[in-house]
Amino acid sequence: MFMFLAFAAGVVRGYSGFGFAMVLTLGLLASLAPAQVIPVVLMLDLLCSVSLWPSALATFHAQVGMRLIVGMLLAVPLGALALARLPGHWMAPVTAGLCLLGGVLVLIKPAAGRAPTVLGRRWALPAGLVSGLATAMASAGGPPLVVYLLRSGLSMASVRGTAIVFFAVSSASALVSLWLLQALNRAQVDFAMSLLLPALAGNVLGQWLFRRKPMSLQTVIGVLLVVLSGATLIDALVSP
């Protein structure tokens, strides 16, 4: 079951450039504690993105991306500290709630005949800050970044490339912070390695699908987030 979740999350990541951490986190939280899930997901998120780096760097939007990364770096240590200190039973509903909110925001579209609101570059730093905090605390940094990038006026190629680079730096920074807080252990590394091959296989399939038939990333990510986060939130609230 865990291997299938890793494969499915890999497909999402390879296709869209983001979503891996959210999909896998929400799936694993149904069976495992957040303190075990989040470091594992961050490790896999970083490793599975390596093959995407060359193409992502070619389409990375430097002016927007660097603002996002600076904001993220300011927030990651605080998020890692929250993960290490907050009670574990809070984390599943918090993570699911953040992803559910993000999914709803991603799915909201402007009324017919009305142009979507374009968020300027001044919003990149706050978006990176919120995303970095959520990434380190609950591996849920995707929603704020997705909401910003899909309304930034960038092309889909630049959205995808900027997201890939951002999440690589974000995951690496969060892992370093967790290591400094002694929140990483050998069991988490072993678990991540057991899921690496299925995640990579899904990543390759997702890239192939993207080249064959690109479609609206907004709809794909939004629907996935709403369905998975809604189910996880209900499970977390009704479980004793």
Model confidence pLDDT, tens digit, residues 70-120: 999 999 999 888 888 877 677 778 777 877 877 787 677 655 555 555 667
Q: How far apart are CA 25 and CA 36, in angstroms?
A: 10
pLDDT of residue 32: 87
DSSP 122: G
H or E stretch including 134?
helix 124-138
CB distance 86 to 144 below 8 Å? no
Q: In terms of C-beta density within 10 A (0-12 exposed, 13-18 middle, 19 or more buried), how is residue 61 classed?
A: buried
Q: Does the structure show a pLDDT above 70 at 240?
A: no
* Cα 15–chain centre separation: 13
Looking at residue 117, what is its pLDDT?
A: 56
Where does the pLDDT of residue 198 fall: very low under 50, low under 70, confident under 90, or very high at 90 and above? very high
Distance CA 95, CA 49 (A): 22
Tokens, residue 67: 């603002």
Handedness of CA 175, 51, 142, 23 (dihedral sign): negative
User: 57: Cβ–Cβ under 8 A, 6 or more apart, which residues?
Assistant: 161, 165
* Least confident among 168-172, 175-179, 235-239: 235-239
pLDDT of 128: 94
What pLDDT is attached to residue 35?
Answer: 80
Q: Is residue 15 within 8 Å of 116, Cβ to Cβ? A: no
pLDDT: is 87 or 132 the higher one? 132
Percent of the chain with pLDDT over 90: 37
CA–CA gap between residue 78 and residue 136 (Å, rounded): 8
pLDDT value for 27: 86
DSSP letter at 185 equals -
Mean pLDDT on 149-174:
90
Query: Residue 229's pLDDT is what?
Result: 79
Is this structure's pTM higher than 0.75?
yes
Residue with tokens 């299938």: 4
Burial class (CB in 10 A: 0-12, 13-18, 19+), 66: middle
